[in-house]
Amino acid sequence: MGDSENNQEVQQVIADKEQVIADKEQAMAAMLIVAKKQLFLQRITTLATVGIFVVVLVAMIVLVPKVTMTLTNIDQMVADASSSVENINAMVAEMTEASKNLNQLVNDNTEPLTQAVNNMAGIDFEGLNKAITDLQATVGPMAQFFSRFR
């Protein structure tokens, strides 16, 4: 039995090694499949990254000049607005001065205006109308008389 037991042990060792080799081959095959999947996913990721880069690059090429032009226009509008505010402030100062001058004019002429209004209120319009009618009655026949000599 010594030989047959040795044979069995050797065969068992060989079978175990063959099993280990088979397991290693299966593991290597599985690792190869996983590596191929990872390579495929890395290629997809790389293509997506390149695509995003291209989109961002095109967007920058298209948008940067427009943004620059827009910012230039905004700067110009702010400068125009500042100039307009300065002009408005000057106009307000001039209007304030004009209103002070107008107030002074009214204050200076209040008394003469009051006298003029009082004088106009004191006019006897009925008497004036009667005087005009009398004058017309007097001058009318004289005008007819002198019109004959023309």
Give the integer Cα–Cα distance in Å for 89 and 86: 5
Which tokens is 108 given? 């200076």
Give every CB contact of residue 57 below 8 A, 6+ residues apart in sequence. none
The residue extents of the domains of the chain are: 2-108
Arithmetic mean of pLDDT, 33-58:
96
Task: Please write down the HEC assignment for all residues of 63-128.
Answer: HHHHHHHHHHHHHHHHHHHHHHHHHHHHHHHHHHHHHHHHHHHHHHCHHHHHHHHHHHHCCCHHHH
Q: What angle do CA 91, 93, 99 make, to 5 degrees?
A: 100
Indicate the pLDDT class of residue 148, thresholds 50, 70 and 90. confident
* pLDDT tens-digit readout, 55-66: 999 999 998 999
Residue 145, exposed/middle/buried by CB under 10 A (0-12, 13-18, 19+)? exposed
What is the pLDDT at residue 2?
Answer: 60
User: Residue 141 pLDDT more than 90?
Assistant: no
Give the integer Cα–Cα distance in Å for 124 and 132: 12
Can you give the pTM of this predicted structure? 0.41
Q: What angle do CA 20, 21, 23 make, to 5 degrees?
A: 60
